[in-house]
Structure 1
Amino acid sequence: MASASAPEVVVVFDFDRTIIDWDSDDWVITKLGAADAFQRLRPTMRWNPLMDRMMAELHARGKTPEDIRDCLRSAPLDTHVVSAVKTAAALGCDLKVVSDANTFFIETVLAHHGVLGCFSEIVTNPASVDADGRLRISPFHDPASAPHGCSLCPDNMCKGKILGRIQATGSDKKRRRRFIYIGDGKGDYCPSLKLGEGDHVMARENYPLWHLICDNKQLLKAEVHPWNSGEELEKTLLKLAGEVISPPAQASQFDYSKCEMSNPASCPPSCAALITDQLLVRKY
């Protein structure tokens, strides 16, 4: 555990193409055989309502929520990422997920790999199974009732506003906090701009976040660190966390069992190439 005088380290992970090396929406749509419907509907809909519509399509084809879970469980997760999550949690970092995926997908994957309990909070688009047995996916921000007003982000989610809420509601405001934000997509740029001196952005190299940062380096106050594999993510994250936590802690001294615990708190909406070429139409 970090010493009482050490800053609290808050690590915020994106999910798609960050914790996982693939895109959860694309994986499910492709593996469950709905690529044809996706191709037909993609030009006519925004991503979040499109994913809800695709869940209806899968339901109509006889696919159950458990089929979707099994599909997600079949996907790989880099062992270096699993190790990074468990070790960072054991060292006393506060781990959170902020993602434009959904609760059903994220919690299924993290639970399957034994790391769901490592995270104190998952902030993402809500998902639930309705009375008909159909998976429903809703927007985090409802653009019809309360648009978030950020021009950098999609209308269903502003990660910058979410990060601002996390920054403002620390468990101990008297204790210094240092943020490490890990992401890859365009939607991760807005929260990166919210970080300050002493914070860090781990941007996946040659992905949209990396290019946006490289084009606007003067706008960021946080230190930027590239990564491009699970091994590099683990090495960089643990190095940065170790530089903040003093004296250095030995992960072997800690009980990893908390990562096997029950679900973390999922923030409700009120809180303000493994896929086919046809589905390489990104949501970012």
Structure 2
Amino acid sequence: MAGMVIIFDFDKTIIDCDSDNWVIDQLGATQLFETLLPTMPWNPLLDRMMAEIHAQGKKIYDISEVLKKAPLDRHVASAIRYAYALGFDLRIVSDANVFFIEEILKHHGLIECFTEINTNPSYVDGDGRLRISPFHDFTISSHGCLLCPPNMCKSKIVERIRSEGKKIVYIGDGKGDYCPSLLLGHGDFVMPRRNYPLWDLIQSDPSLVKAEVQEWSYGEEEERVLLQIIRRSEYVDGYRPEMLPPADCKMGLMPGKAHEPLQKALRVPL
């Protein structure tokens, strides 16, 4: 196992859209969502929208079929497969939810590449309705971070991962990815998506981020930047330069390695 963890956000990082909005828009519930948005916190609102969609006769199958159509750039998929084949530890830290993420990753044959998915819980209840709840139950207590949304402080998750003693590559786009970026140090990397909130926040005062910043804008560039970081890594077991493709190589499906079952995300003590 390589001595570096590659942490991906999910929405607008692995897939090129917001999975919550994608499902709502594709299933024709946008107008109701926009009406309720100013009146409810995000996670309860999503749970309410799943109830409305269910009441309109939509089934879990319909949600699953919509998720399979969410845009995922082939270059991003190739980068994930290649990093996995080299033995890197790949994890997801996302403010989406388990059902959306797993359905998309399964459809693209990527779920086995990840050792852990940290995100908002979701499940299908006895009535066949998708239920969504917050990663951190903010109705009971606060996680105490003023930078992050009330349901999730990604730094608390990344701090646990860092305690394993590995260097980190963190790839994200959103405001919620800024807090964990501040946690990283020398020898780590942060990959913000250019002209998205994480990039804007880093640009506002670059001195606050101690990790090396390598920006990207679209799927092919995300792949190229991640491979450049991997080329510089000293953490690949049995690494030889010829193991990596040329910088301009268009990677297709890469051979996988033996894997362990996907681990459920661990709760972070507050």
Identical residues among aligned pairs (%): 56
Task: Report the Cα offset of residue 263 of structure 1.
Answer: 5.9
Partner of 2:211: 222
Partner of 1:213: 202
2:262 alignment partner AA: P
How many residues are treated as equivalent by the alignment?
258
1:58 alignment partner AA: I
2:123 alignment partner AA: S
1:75-128 deviation per Cα after TM superposition (whole angstroms, max 9, x unaligned): 221100010000011111100000000000000001100010000000000000
Task: Report the Cα offset of residue 49 of structure 1.
Answer: 1.2
**Higher RCO (CA-CA < 8 Å; seq separation 6+):** 1
1:175-208 deviation per Cα after TM superposition (whole angstroms, max 9, x unaligned): xx22100000000000000100010000000000
Task: Report the Cα offset of residue 241 of structure 1.
Answer: 1.4
1:134 alignment partner AA: R
Tell me the SS of whatever aligns to 2:58: coil
**Distance in 2, Cα, partners of 1:64 & 1:258:** 36
**Distance in 1, Cα, partners of 2:63 & 2:261:** 19
Partner of 1:266: 264
**Distance in 1, Cα, partners of 2:81 & 2:149:** 31
Structure 2 unaligned blocks of 5 or more: 246-252
Partner of 2:241: 248
Q: What root-mean-square deviation, in Å, do the aligned CA atoms of Structure 1 and Structure 2 show?
A: 1.9
Partner of 1:99: 94
Describe the shift of the 1:143–1:167 C-alpha distance in structure 2 as closer, same or farther (beyond 3 A).
Answer: same
The partner residue of 2:76 within 71, 74, 81 is 81
Partner of 2:191: 202
Residues 205, 228 of structure 1: 8 Å contact kept: yes
Residues 9, 241 of structure 1: 8 Å contact kept: no
Task: Report the Cα offset of residue 13 of structure 1.
Answer: 0.2
Q: Which of structure 1's runs of 4+ aligned residues deviate more than 6 A?
A: none
Residues 1-284 of structure 1: pairs in structure 2 closer than 5 A: 8-168=3-163, 170=164, 173=165, 177-245=166-234, 246-248=239-241, 250=243, 256-258=255-257, 264-268=262-266, 270-272=267-269
**Distance in 2, Cα, partners of 1:9 & 1:247:** 16
Describe the shift of the 1:67–1:182 C-alpha distance in structure 2 as closer, same or farther (beyond 3 A).
Answer: same
**Distance in 2, Cα, partners of 1:40 & 1:262:** 44
Task: Report the Cα offset of residue 262 of structure 1.
Answer: 8.2
1:265 alignment partner AA: Q
Residues 90, 251 of structure 1: 8 Å contact kept: no
Residues 185, 210 of structure 2: 8 Å contact kept: yes
Partner of 1:278: none
**Distance in 2, Cα, partners of 1:49 & 1:203:** 28
Residues 121, 265 of structure 1: 8 Å contact kept: yes
TM-score by length of 1: 0.86
1:59 alignment partner AA: H
Task: Report the Cα offset of residue 41 of structure 1.
Answer: 0.3
**Distance in 2, Cα, partners of 1:249 & 1:86:** 17
1:203-257 deviation per Cα after TM superposition (whole angstroms, max 9, x unaligned): 00000000000002111110101100110010100110121134436158x9734
**Distance in 2, Cα, partners of 1:98 & 1:109:** 15
TM-score by length of 2: 0.91
**Distance in 1, Cα, partners of 2:137 & 2:160:** 17
